């Protein structure tokens, strides 16, 4: 069976020069893409992106030719980025990543509507992925020693993102992300049928609960996440066309809805296939990875963090194809910070 391709593009030097010039005004503005208001004001910002890049993202969204899309060659000034922070709270602010945040925000707008969860990193639209001391064994973007198992982002939510953007600020040791496409897995008909039935529970990953439990225990977003943990509804893992399915899973946070050995075997077969078809992608400095969150499952290699300012550091943005998916469900009417 041939594996589906990954769309790939490298910006040429002229495109980089033009892009930097086109973004000068946005860079100087007081409105940061970390804030939801940025996307209301600059919804037409994708017109500033190079035409080739816009077409690539359009193709990726409209035609679904692959599970992932890689764009190389965005400029990152290591000195401006500064040391990898110790914690996502970042009391020093986000000025050091404004340039890459702008690239991500415009690419995100080209794909749909960027949003965030009220439960994570204070609902900031652009978030950090780097190792945090004490979190080494956690199944989250802040773990390191533990291999981060295959998942689609926020699979416990029916309104999970359509696209996940990850941007390499720093990755000196070239620690890979792994991508497995639902279109590449080979399963027998019985396993496919079982996986397409609502026989599985997926609960929130612990970050959705831990961050607010520590900082805002009365937040309504926390209560909602606790309900999703304590009263999960059974969901299918595969959906859409049986021959070309979409996927929803979170290996460390899922189980069968009851005692269901047949469904368990089907899930084991799927996990084995995800391992078999996985492909490593290294998010080098200046590389953007866009994942179709309903076609790609992703994982991350384990590594040893140094906590000396040189650790791997990614920025992350999630995008919905349209705001109707979460309209009325946000912290403010029409807002982008979803409860
Ligand atoms: O660090 C990575 O490569 C992946 C991070 C990840 O899985 C996530 O943020 O959901």
- 2 has pLDDT over 90: no
Residue 8 tokens, joined: 């790939």
Neighbours of 32 (CB within 10 A): 20
CB of 305 closer than 8 Å to CB of 84: no
Cα separation, 339 vs 334, in Å, equals 12
Q: Which residues does a 6 A CB cutoff place in the pocket of ligand 1? A: 129, 141, 148, 153, 177, 298, 300, 314, 316
The better pLDDT of the pair 166, 323 is held by 166
Ligand 1 nearest-atom number relative to CA 176: 3
* E strand spans, 226-304: 238-239, 246-247, 254-256, 279-282, 288-292, 296-300
- Cross-strand bridge partners of residue 202: 254
Q: pLDDT tier at 92 (50, 70, 90 boundaries)?
A: confident
- d(CA 148, ligand 1 centre) in Å: 8
- 292 has pLDDT over 80: yes
- d(CA 316, ligand 1 centre) in Å: 8
CA-nearest residue for atom 3, ligand 1, is: 177
Least confident of 10-19, 223-232, 306-315: 223-232
- d(CA 100, ligand 1 centre) in Å: 17
- d(CA 90, ligand 1 centre) in Å: 19
- 228 has pLDDT over 70: yes
Query: Which of the 8 DSSP states describes residue 319?
Result: E
Ligand 1 nearest-atom number relative to CA 175: 3
Task: State the pLDDT at residue 93.
Answer: 87
Coil, helix or strand at residue 92? coil
Q: Per-residue pLDDT tens for 8-41?
A: 999 999 999 999 999 999 998 889 999 999 999 9
Q: pLDDT tier at 3 (50, 70, 90 boundaries)?
A: confident
The better pLDDT of the pair 287, 93 is held by 287
- 215 has pLDDT over 90: no
Residue 45 tokens, joined: 């910002």
194-218 mean pLDDT: 93
- d(CA 65, ligand 1 centre) in Å: 22
Write down the architecture of domain 7-181+278-338 according to CATH.
4-Layer Sandwich (3.60)
The better pLDDT of the pair 217, 289 is held by 289
Task: State the pLDDT at residue 117.
Answer: 95
CA-nearest residue for atom 8, ligand 1, is: 141
Task: Please provide the DSSP assignment of 6-66 as one string.
Answer: PEEEE--HHHHHHHHHHTHHHHHSS--TTSTHHHHHTTTGGGGS-HHHHHHHHHHHHH---
Angle (deg, nearest 10), helices 220-230 and 207-215: 140
151-163 mean pLDDT: 96
Residue 114 tokens, joined: 């960027």
Q: Which residues of 62-90 are buried (b: 16+ CB within 10 A; e: fewer)?
A: eeeebbbbbbebbebeeeebeebbeebee
CA-nearest residue for atom 9, ligand 1, is: 141
Q: How confident is the prediction for the chain on average, in pLDDT?
A: 95
Task: State the pLDDT at residue 204.
Answer: 95
């Amino acid at each position: 069976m041939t594996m589906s391709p990954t769309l790939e593009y490298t910006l040429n030097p002229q495109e980089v020069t033009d892009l930097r010039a086109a973004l000068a005004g946005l860079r100087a503005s007081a409105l940061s893409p970390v804030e939801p208001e940025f996307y209301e004001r600059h919804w037409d910002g994708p017109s500033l992106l190079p035409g080739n890049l816009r077409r690539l993202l359009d193709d990726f969204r409209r035609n679904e030719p692959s599970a992932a899309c890689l764009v190389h060659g965005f400029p990152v000034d290591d000195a401006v980025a500064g040391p990898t922070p110790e914690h996502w709270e970042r009391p020093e602010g986000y000025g050091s990543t404004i340039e890459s945040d702008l690239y991500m925000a415009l690419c995100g707008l080209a794909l749909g509507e960027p949003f965030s969860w009220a439960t994570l990193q204070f609902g900031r639209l652009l978030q950090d992925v780097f190792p945090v001391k004490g979190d080494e064994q956690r199944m989250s973007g802040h773990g390191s020693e533990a291999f981060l198992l295959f998942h689609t982002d926020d699979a416990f939510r029916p309104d999970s993102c359509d696209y996940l953007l990850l941007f390499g600020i720093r990755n000196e040791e070239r620690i890979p992300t792994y991508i497995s496409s639902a279109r590449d897995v080979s399963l027998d008909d019985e396993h496919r049928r079982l996986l397409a039935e609502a026989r599985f529970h997926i609960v929130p990953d612990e970050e959705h609960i831990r961050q607010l439990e520590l900082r805002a225990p009365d937040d309504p977003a926390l209560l909602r996440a606790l309900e999703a943990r304590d009263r999960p509804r059974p969901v299918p893992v595969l959906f859409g066309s049986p021959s070309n399915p979409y996927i929803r899973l979170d290996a460390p946070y899922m189980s069968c809805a009851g005692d269901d050995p047949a469904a368990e075997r089907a899930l084991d077969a799927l996990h084995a296939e995800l391992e078999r078809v996985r492909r490593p992608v290294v998010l080098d400095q200046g590389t953007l990875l866009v994942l179709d969150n309903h076609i790609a499952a992703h994982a991350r290699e384990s590594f040893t963090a140094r906590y000396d300012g040189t650790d791997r550091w990614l920025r992350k943005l999630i995008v919905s194809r349209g705001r109707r998916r979460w309209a009325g469900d946000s912290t403010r009417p029409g807002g982008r910070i979803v409860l």
